[in-house]
A and B are shown apart, each in its own frame.
Chain A
């Protein structure tokens, strides 16, 4: 629309410029209009010429595919049909293509993260393995993201998605602080993120995150995911190893624990999940969010934890799973 407006105004300028060139101020003779009188034939010719010039050449846009039902017409169709090209592979059935594209990301929630509220604040813990199908791509991924000094987010699902949107959330929280001269609440921050994720619903984002923090109302914990869900709660675990972590966490949880006990519970829960789940492993990181903000409590290698909890007993070599006695 803008272009059209520009075009019109440009056209209106142009004739005036040309006129002023003709009517130079240093003209000596007075100007008189010359009236041209044409006969009918010349007038008709002039009009034809104008119409020809005015008429746009639309021969390229005409399609001859109308109602001539003959073999010749079919050939003509191919010759004169508007240019076409094959749709790219996968776009013939776009819904199925999009479903398949999302399926390739389905495995991506291979991780274990957990968070719980107790009387001394919030404990947040996660493993550090990134896997692509069966391949371990990294054993040292930071899955607990520091949104700001008193709020943490956990990463499960697509790493890029989580990193980007958590950073984006941090920016929005800071803007809120500057605009309102007070810190944003955990409720508000989780709502901001949930609304953004809801607007991208169905487009293949893969995020299962927990927002944990301490605000004026005390400790806060929300679960937010890329399907647009947002839940408030006291205990959450997200990822492929979450069933195993829930088992240990639910068993050992008490609302009145010391920070040390809560730390050990979280560490134990993640350790058990890494033992049973193939897609979790690496290093257990445990954070504590208190009234003064978050603090990292520990980062233990899971394998070392195993031999600490279950030291090796010297035993003879086992002979299991053998039905027939050896020959």
Chain B
């Protein structure tokens, strides 16, 4: 098995109408053995920006710590939060710095930009950005996820429908992967008209085998 399949992971992010959702599985394993069923892979950068990191778990955690550090410095200098597009460029640059000894993680970035426009993108472990308008996937279950998202996705979904779609796509994909699953975690962010952005976090009941 390759280094990307050492811990096992599944990540997906989808765009809806003025909202986005990012979902991950909850398994941490050591090859075939499951070690934890409550592992966090989706991290908050600021209220309107989240990053999910798949691949080797230690690299995912280190990458997250480096990014939080860089974002806090940015906040001190610029006195504002980073835009998602800027953050994606930052992640890409940090990954390419390690071109000849990379971090073995593949990030999925999801955030709300200007005018509450949802933004999602993914990268490979060297920082090649892939912007998408509908959904992005990453992890050991990525091929199944591509298939599930392709068939279940519709543009301009309302938050409830988006939540349902992303949950079903994630659960049905990890059921075909030995190395990911054991529950799911979904985070839905939408810009409501009057109140500030609302965030819903839910844990999914999935197959535990």
Chain A interface (Cβ < 8 Å from any Cβ of B): 110, 129, 131, 133-136, 139, 240, 274-282, 302-303, 306-307, 312, 317-324, 326-327
1/0 contact string of B190-209 vs chain A (CB within 8 Å): 00000000000101011111
Q: Which of B93-118 contact A (CB under 8 A)?
A: none
Residues of chain A with a CB closer than 8 A to B178's CB: 110, 129, 131, 134-136, 278-279, 281
CB of A304 to closest CB in B, whole Å = 9
B205 & A275 in contact (Cβ 8 Å cutoff):
no
B46 & A276 in contact (Cβ 8 Å cutoff):
no
Residues of chain B with a CB closer than 8 A to A327's CB: 44-46, 68, 71-72, 75
Chain B interface (Cβ < 8 Å from any Cβ of A): 1, 5, 8, 29, 31-34, 38-40, 43-46, 61, 65, 68, 71-72, 75, 140, 175-179, 201, 203, 205-209
Residue of A nearest to B28 (CB): A321
A277 & B33 in contact (Cβ 8 Å cutoff):
yes
A320 & B40 in contact (Cβ 8 Å cutoff):
yes
The 7 closest A-B pairs by CB, nearest first: A281-B209, A278-B178, A303-B207, A274-B209, A278-B32, A306-B208, A302-B209
Residue of B nearest to A281 (CB): B209
B207 & A110 in contact (Cβ 8 Å cutoff):
no
Residue of A nearest to B185 (CB): A317
Residues of chain A with a CB closer than 8 A to B68's CB: 324, 327
CB of B42 to closest CB in A, whole Å = 11
Known contacts A306-B208, A321-B40; 6 additional CB pairs below 8 A are A134-B140, A278-B178, A317-B203, A320-B38, A321-B39, A321-B61
CB of B71 to closest CB in A, whole Å = 7
Central interface residue in B5, B46, B178, B179, by most chain A CB within 10 Å: B178
Residues of chain A with a CB closer than 8 A to B29's CB: 278
Contact (A136, B176) CB under 8 Å given A278-B8, A322-B40, A326-B44: yes
B32 & A240 in contact (Cβ 8 Å cutoff):
yes
CB of B153 to closest CB in A, whole Å = 22
Residue of A nearest to B201 (CB): A317
Partner of B207, one of A277, A278, A281: A281
Residues of chain B with a CB closer than 8 A to A317's CB: 201, 203
Residues of chain B with a CB closer than 8 A to A302's CB: 207-209
B44 & A303 in contact (Cβ 8 Å cutoff):
no
B40 & A280 in contact (Cβ 8 Å cutoff):
no
Residue of A nearest to B29 (CB): A278
Residue of B nearest to A276 (CB): B34
Central interface residue in B33, B38, B206, by most chain A CB within 10 Å: B33
Contact (A324, B65) CB under 8 Å given A136-B175, A279-B178: yes
Q: How far is the CA of A134 from the CA of B175 in the complex (A)?
A: 11
A307 & B40 in contact (Cβ 8 Å cutoff):
no
Residues of chain B with a CB closer than 8 A to A322's CB: 40, 43
CB of A279 to closest CB in B, whole Å = 5
Jot down 9 A-B pairs with beta carbons below 8 A, ordered by A: A129-B178, A134-B177, A282-B209, A306-B208, A317-B203, A324-B68, A326-B44, A327-B44, A327-B75
B209 & A280 in contact (Cβ 8 Å cutoff):
yes
A110 & B177 in contact (Cβ 8 Å cutoff):
no
Residues of chain B with a CB closer than 8 A to A319's CB: 40
B203 & A275 in contact (Cβ 8 Å cutoff):
no
A279 & B209 in contact (Cβ 8 Å cutoff):
no
Q: How far is the CA of A302 from the CA of B34 in the complex (A)?
A: 16
Residues of chain B with a CB closer than 8 A to A274's CB: 209
A303 & B208 in contact (Cβ 8 Å cutoff):
yes
Q: How far is the CA of A234 from the CA of B208 in the complex (A)?
A: 30
Residues of chain B with a CB closer than 8 A to A279's CB: 32, 178
CB of B61 to closest CB in A, whole Å = 7
Contact (A307, B209) CB under 8 Å given A135-B176, A275-B34: no
CB of B189 to closest CB in A, whole Å = 14
Residues of chain A with a CB closer than 8 A to B38's CB: 318, 320
CB of B45 to closest CB in A, whole Å = 7
Central interface residue in B44, B46, B75, B207, by most chain A CB within 10 Å: B207
